[in-house]
Amino acid sequence: MIDVEDLIALVRNYNPRTNADLIRRAYAYGKQMHEGQFRKSGEPYFTHPVAVAAILTEQRLDDATIVTALLHDTIEDTRSTYTEVAQFFGEDVAELVDGVTKLTNLQLSSTQSQQAENFRKLFMAMSKDLRVILVKLADRLHNMRTIKSMKPEKQAQKARETMEIFAPLAGRMGMQWMREELEDLAFRVLNPDARNSIIRRFITLQREAGDVVHKISADLRLELERVQIEADVYGRAKKPYSIWRKMQEKDLAFSRLSDIYGFRVICGSVPDCYRILGVIHQRWRAVPGRFKDYISQPKTNGYRSIHTTVSGRDGKRVEVQIRTRDMHEVAEAGVAAHWSYKEGVRAVNPFAVDPANWISSITERFDEGDHNEFLEHVKMEMYSDQVFCFTPKGDVVQLPRGATPLDYAYAIHTRIGNSCVSAKVDGIRVPLWTRLKNGQSVEIITAEGQRPQSSWIDIVTTGRAKAAIRKSLREEDRGRFVKLGQELARAAFDHIGKRSSDKALRTAAKMLGLADEMDLLARLGSAEVTARRVVELLYPELALQRTDEVDALRPVVGLSDDQSFRRAGCCQPVPGERIVGITYRGQGVVVHAIDCPALEEFEEQPGRWVDLHWHSGRHAAVHTVSLELTISNASGVLGRICTVIGEQKANISDLRFTDRKPDYYRVIVDVDLRDVEHLHMVMTALEAETDVAQILRHRDLSRKPATRAQE
């Protein structure tokens, strides 16, 4: 559990003027009130409010919100009262704690009529002070992170509520990072087999294709350096739930997904955003229909950015988001940007939309009649990336934003989609490419003998519609596509001096999850699979590989030639993480991660700080990181854990047990890694193992360097 001084230090990082005494008193009061209470995991209950407060410090929130987090369960679960909280901590905090208590008591996943009324109460609490929902979202996030200790049926109930209510609400509040984590944590409970399957496929893909994120990030940085644009480039693989949802929406197998990697380019100004867009489109081919300008047309939650999808390295589709640093702060913080502090001053971000406007537009409908109509309106607002249309009989059809009448027709039934000739929207005949809006009534007109046309592929948005159209076109033109596919395969194999044999094609078809070589040839001819992709699958050694290795002896930039350096043992920074150097007499420069708590004691010694960053390129796997694992006490578990780490091409340099119980072990494993992406790969692979209950990055402040003053 984080102690009170560490919590205050987290707040001081962004608000040096924090009321430390108020936080100390709230910490002591909460600890006293929860004395003798324990969580399902056996931990003292007060560890939960402290963890919620720590989550809120990541969003740089004000003292009142941090104190509310420490006290948010006192009125509900202890002998504390509203009057007592108001007396000790003020009316502002008491109102916030009372608001969170009322939200906790709402059963948001109850029956339809109860749910409508509880949603009214939810939005009433939010309309009074939006900080209430920020605390509640942080509370739910920590509960989901520690949900394994609950009974299975309770886990499922909380996970469904999180997926249906809290994750979309976090998204509507502009807190996309929290929405993604909540969705993925709920997905782990609701469909663990699907999640683990996606993680294993990701691991296999990374083993076959190499470090794709690093390569593409390096390509982007190189292009920006050529035109002298200063910008930060970040890349990552998308979350398992995001990938699974895309597979469901587009009805695609994992092997056929394209843009499973996302990249962000963060720059200094709006003109630079558009210059960067031009650079990217000049270097790589843009994917039609995948460009969105949310700078000129921001989302309703204040989100601004440029999104484009391009065919990047080796033809892989990647999504690139381009935004300024101010826009990035809003994208990360959402409504929390309205209460965030920086250097002791409340931050005012010019791009943030006032969330009160959305809440007031909802609360205006409170007295307009039917509960179910209100609930329907709220859910439409929360699921702002969806479109809800009505059949002539009044049934609701849910579609992604941007969907057309053709998507609607295929959502009803494939037969209706295939035979569609025209559509009426709100009684008026419209072209099939019309974009549908929330609440519209759609009627599909069909005709016997009608067949899907190839142009429909560019009209529809949903994976179901695209898959049905492609299937119909394949069946109609299969013979022609097979013949064309044979020619494409022959030419591609001839180019590398190989023969396009039936056996080779069958092997490639199996690797792509296709039925046989004829299915592969048909897809080659219809341009669903490229001949280059087939060749790369069968002969990966022929693909170009980047060999820009970084010198392991000098992996950081910013040191003078005579300065020695070493990584701090307390935080163990790895390439890809932000770093800073601290000079020590007789010890050279010690490299710390920028968020290392040990740096706090050097705030008054700016002369000892050295600005450093890692060399770009491929680093050697020599950077040791300590991982703390809680694993089942069963035969063969430790061996499997070591095998998983070895499969990620990571070396175990030390292993020590810290706790032994009849049913589990706690063990610290020292692993030699290349960079932060390599660390992520290892931790993700271990997390997918059923015998691993928990995995954390172990940081030991007792290993920080001696603090002898430098003369």
Active site residues: 76-77
Structure-derived torsion over alpha carbons of residues 559, 565, 571, 577, reported in degrees to the nearest 10: 30
Instruction: Decide: helix, strand or coil at residue 697.
Output: strand
Q: Which pair of tokens denotes residue 542?
A: 């022929």
Under 8 Å between Cβ of 63 and 19 = yes
Under 8 Å between Cβ of 500 and 538 = no
Q: Which pair of tokens denotes residue 625?
A: 């990181």
**Beta-carbon contacts of residue 694 (< 8 Å; ≥ 6 apart):** 148, 629, 630
List beta partners, residue 400. Answer: 386
**Measuring CA to CA, which residue among 277, 330, 270 is closest to residue 303?**
330
**Measuring CA to CA, which residue among 170, 107, 99 is closest to residue 138?**
170
Cα distances (angstroms) measured from residue 630 to each of 42, 276, 620, 633, 673: 15, 45, 28, 9, 21
**Beta-carbon contacts of residue 78 (< 8 Å; ≥ 6 apart):** 33, 34, 37
Distance CA 140, CA 154 (A): 14
Instruction: Decide: helix, strand or coil at residue 576.
Output: coil
Under 8 Å between Cβ of 638 and 631 = yes
**Beta-carbon contacts of residue 310 (< 8 Å; ≥ 6 apart):** 280, 281, 284, 285, 286, 287, 317, 318, 320
Distance CA 129, CA 126 (A): 5
**Beta-carbon contacts of residue 425 (< 8 Å; ≥ 6 apart):** 405, 434, 436, 440, 441, 442, 443
Instruction: Decide: helix, strand or coil at residue 650.
Output: coil
Q: Which pair of tokens denotes residue 505?
A: 């094609």
Distance CA 339, CA 546 (A): 45
**Measuring CA to CA, which residue among 320, 250, 670, 634 is closest to residue 461?**
250
